[in-house]
């Protein structure tokens, strides 16, 4: 009987050891996916330029998205808006969120993007490129505090061009919308947004823009209502399948 008892004790100890997890491995890219355990949708605040790519990249994860300019999303988070994940179209706004204390853990770069100049199909204003021809055109750009606005100022400075926009928008999708509707003669948007507009716009490259891309960052929000779902969504975006999905929308890999 004693031998039987000892054997059972040894078996129980072995099973317990098998069920324990070892220390976490250092983060690598691409990451393996985890499975969400929450019964409700994961709330993701994401840059407006991700409005097509993220729903596709999410796969089977149940997600509720809120797309807007990155700076506006940070303001909402600081104001107490409930969210699980924040994805910014630049490091500046992610750093702003970190400094404000609304981010849990480290932010990770997950994609890159660059600016192009778009004009309505047929180019009615005769814009010749990112040059002085824009002075006579109704140009629309992103506001300076928005990632695409900051990037616009950088490429303009490098080109020695003083832009004279008729409007500064709070998101890149608003800029694109004014061009496709004919309200503007030209707009500066991300290459991924221009690709979504297809034949409704003509695309003119901006010299040097590809060499100075915007970097996209993702992180879990502090006190996330769905912490497990947040981890799972971030893992999905950083995984090989998530990265492949983003690339189909024209996003470049993290640098």
Average pLDDT, rounded, for the chain: 87
Q: Tell me the percentage of the chain whose pLDDT exceeds 90.
A: 81
Residue 248 in this model has a pLDDT that exceeds 80: yes
Answer yes or no: is pLDDT of 84 > 70.
yes
Give the CA distances from residue 17 to residues 47, 95, 195, 209, in Å, rounded to whole numbers and listed in that order. Answer: 44, 41, 53, 54
pLDDT at residue 245 greater than cutoff 70: yes
C-beta atoms surrounding 38 within 10 Å: 16
Which residue is it, tokens 């005769």? Answer: 126
pTM (2 d.p.): 0.81
What are the residues facing 87 on neighbouring strands? 46, 218
Residue 44 has pLDDT above 90, yes or no: yes
Asked if the model's pLDDT at residue 36 lies above 80, the reply is no
Residue with tokens 């204390």: 101
Is 199 within 8 Å of 131 (Cβ atoms)?
A: no
∠ at Cα 88 (83, 90), nearest 5°? Answer: 160
Cα atoms in the 13 Å half-sphere on the side-chain side of 252: 15
Share of the chain above pLDDT 70, in %: 85
Asked if residue 6 has pLDDT above 50, the reply is no
Question: Which DSSP state fits 160?
Answer: T
Secondary structure element (H or E) that encloses residue 157, with its range: helix 147-159
What would the mean pLDDT of 224-228 be, rounded to a whole number? 97
pLDDT per residue as tens digits for the range 158-179: 999 999 999 999 999 999 999 9
Buried b (16+ CB within 10 A) or exposed e, 1-11: eeeeeeeeeee
Listed residue (168, 207, 208, 159) closest to 187, CA to CA? 168
* pLDDT at site 28: 36
Residue 2 has pLDDT above 50, yes or no: no
Q: How many angstroms separate the CA atoms of 254 and 238, rounded?
A: 10
Burial class (CB in 10 A: 0-12, 13-18, 19+), 19: exposed
Query: Does the structure show a pLDDT above 60 at 30?
Result: no
Instruction: Please check the confidence at residue 17 and state whether its pLDDT lies above 60.
Output: no
Give me the domains of the chain, ranges plus CATH numbers: 41-112+215-248 (3.40.190.10), 115-205 (3.40.190.10)
* pLDDT (0 to 100) of residue 39: 56
Q: Which of 15-29, 40-54, 189-203 has the lowest mean pLDDT?
A: 15-29
Question: Residues 104, 220: contact at Cβ < 8 Å?
Answer: yes
Coil, strand or helix at 231: helix
The predicted-structure confidence for 174-209, as pLDDT tens digits, reads as follows 999 999 999 999 999 999 999 999 899 999 999 999
pLDDT over 60 (residue 24): no
105 has pLDDT over 50: yes
Q: Is it true that the peptide bond before 24 is cis, omega within 30 degrees of 0? A: no
d(CA 133, CA 42): 46
In order of 88, 130, 134, 207, 250, the CA distances from 210 in angstroms are 19, 14, 20, 8, 13
Would the pLDDT of 10 be above 60?
no
Give the tokens for residue 31. Answer: 């990451």
Length of the chain (residues) = 255
- Does residue 51 register a pLDDT over 70? yes
Q: Compute the average pLDDT of residues 235-241.
A: 96
d(CA 119, CA 69): 22
């Amino acid at each position: 009987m004693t031998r039987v008892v000892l054997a059972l004790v040894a078996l129980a100890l072995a099973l317990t050891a098998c069920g324990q997890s070892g220390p976490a491995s250092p983060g690598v890219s691409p990451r393996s996916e985890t499975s969400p355990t929450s019964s409700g949708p994961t709330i993701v605040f994401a840059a407006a330029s991700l409005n097509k790519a993220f729903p596709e990249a999410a796969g089977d994860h149940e997600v509720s998205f809120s797309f807007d300019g990155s700076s506006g999303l940070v303001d909402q988070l600081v104001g107490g808006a409930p969210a699980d994940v924040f994805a910014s179209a630049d490091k500046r706004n992610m750093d702003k969120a970190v400094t404000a204390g609304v981010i849990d853990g480290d932010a990770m770069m997950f994609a890159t993007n660059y600016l192009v100049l778009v004009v309505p199909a047929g180019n009615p204003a005769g814009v010749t490129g990112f040059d002085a021809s824009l002075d006579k055109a109704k140009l629309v750009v992103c506001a300076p505090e928005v990632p695409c606005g900051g990037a616009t100022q950088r490429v303009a400075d490098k080109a020695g061009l003083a832009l004279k926009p008729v409007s500064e928008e709070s998101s890149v999708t608003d800029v694109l919308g004014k061009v496709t509707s004919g309200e503007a003669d030209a707009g500066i948007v991300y290459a991924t947004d221009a690709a979504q507009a297809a034949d409704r716009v003509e695309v003119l490259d901006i010299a040097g823009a590809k060499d100075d891309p915007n970097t996209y960052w993702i992180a879990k929000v502090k006190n996330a209502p769905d912490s497990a779902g947040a981890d799972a969504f971030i893992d999905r975006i950083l995984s090989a399948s998530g990265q492949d999905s983003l690339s189909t929308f024209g996003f470049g890999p993290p640098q």
